[in-house]
Amino acid sequence: MAHFDDTDILLQEVSTRDGLQNEPRVLSVSQRIQIIDALTKAGLRRIQVGAFVNPRLVLQMADSDSVWLGLDHNNHNVRYTVLVLNERGMETAIKLKLDHIEIYVSASETHSLKNSHIERKRALDNAVRMVRQARQAGMGITGGIMCAFGCYYEGSISQDNVCAMASRLLDAGATEIGFADTTGMAKPQDVKSLISLVDKLAPLEMIGLHLHDTHGCGLLNLEAGLESGIRKFDSSVGGIGGCPFIPGAAGNVATDKVVELAERLGFRVGIDLRELRIAESIMRSFLDSLNH
């Protein structure tokens, strides 16, 4: 596992998965690769490039395998990850010999049914089985919990239940754990409270946060995460993204805003803001061109 100085922030760019899946327009494989290459040039060391999911349900993620195959994998300073939610996706990941995958399950029963079409317990059992498969195949795995800070449909979510789910994923072999504020309901105190519990499960260097700015608290929550010792965060150029199965859940924390905040607080991010904005403009131009 890589170790970083306590002032180093490690961002994972999710615009090319979480971002694009919430857009009504569908970009081509070539367009997605161009965006990812531009993000790499900006200094992003981790990029979520797609998802191995049913393309009939999430058309924007169709051909994610072709996107992954079209990338330059000679740059070992960059980790390209893919979201995997089912057995077929796992088969694809193993066939392509991915280095790292992400497996997320929801802490909300209702959201699990809408997002994955199976109840939460069964989804967690499936995730545990896939984590074990991935470990046997030599992959790194981020085991993630969606709706970790609340659910649009169910309201508050038990932090003890969230930690119990994370514990099962860790026991199965997850090398990192991510907690997602999928509905943007978290407040800074919620973040600090959950991290204080998670600290008993795993070293904080294994923990990441995926925050949405739906209600304007994204950067405040990120700062609370920094104060709690978290150094890994997901972000998205232009703040695009969200969950297509939750009304009004749009708005990941914007990568440039995260960089500006982190640097203002004295942290090192290693992102070239000029190149980052070029990457954002490329994405915007592709999306805008599909409106005409």
Residues tagged active-site: 243
Find where tokens 């104060």 sit: 227
Q: Which helix (H) or strand (E) holds 262?
A: helix 255-264
Q: What angle do CA 101, 54, 59 make, to 5 degrees?
A: 105
Q: Which residues neighbour 239 within 8 Å (Cβ) at sequence distance 6 or greater? A: 213, 251, 252, 253, 254, 257
CA–CA separation, 186 and 190 (whole Å):
6
| Torsions phi, psi for 196 (to 5 deg) | -65, -30
CA–CA separation, 259 and 271 (whole Å):
7
Contact 172/143 with Cβ under 8 angstroms?
yes
Instruction: Locate 174 and state its tokens.
Output: 């997850």
